[in-house]
Amino acid sequence: MKITQGTFSFLPDLTDQEITAQIQYALDQGWAISVEYTDDPHPRNCYWEMWGNPMFDLPDAAGAVQEVRDARKAHPQTYIRVNAFDATRGFETTRLSFIVNRPSNEPGFGLVRQEGAGRNIRYTIESYAAKSPEGRRYE
């Protein structure tokens, strides 16, 4: 199951050239680029690990793209995303965020039912991958 999230979730995976162009666009807007990775695919997981510090004041995308490549080399079997942060007053938030790397095999999610008081059923989803401990989820 291909997990999608972020700005280009409706598109097929971006090529390196497209990633470079997107990063360049973000830099041209004056946004700061950061790279993050995680092996917990749950859509509500907002605690991704930082790959290095966010990059401020870059004129050209080449440096940020190099960081993406380094992150892929170090963590090939994780989700890696690129965030672009806009520090303009009033925004002060992430303006662009997209996935640039995913594990080769994504097992997807199982539905979990919990029976509560009065035969009440609560539903949740759980990733099959997240059942193994962190760091061994996509081996």
Partner 1 sequence: MSDSASSATGDSVDLNALLADSQVRSVLDELDRELIGLKAVKSRVSEIAALLLIDRARKQVGLAGAPPSLHMSFTGNPGTGKTTVALRMAQILHRLGYVRKGHLVSVTRDDLVGQYIGHTAPKTKEVLKKAMGGVLFIDEAYYLYRPENERDYGQEAIEILLQVMENQRDDLVVILAGYRERMDTFFKSNPGLSSRIAHHLEFPDYGPDELQQIAQTMLAQMQYRLSSSGAQALREYIPLRMAQPHFANARSVRNALDRARLRQAKRLFAQSDKPLTREDLMTIEAEDLRASRVFG
Strand intervals (E) in the chain: 32-38, 49-50, 79-86, 93-101, 109-115, 121-127
**Contact status: 54 vs partner 1 (CB under 8 A):** no
Using CB under 8 A as the binding rule, whether residue 66 contacts partner 1 is answered as yes
**Binding span for partner 1 by CB under 8 A among 56-64, 92-100, 114-122, 128-136:** 56-64
DSSP secondary structure letter of residue 117: G
Q: How many CB atoms lie within 10 A of CB 74?
A: 11
Q: Does 60 bind partner 1 (CB under 8 A)?
A: yes
- Least distance in Å: CB of 27 to partner 1? 10
Residues in contact with partner 1 by the rule CB under 8 A:
52-53, 55, 57-64, 66-67
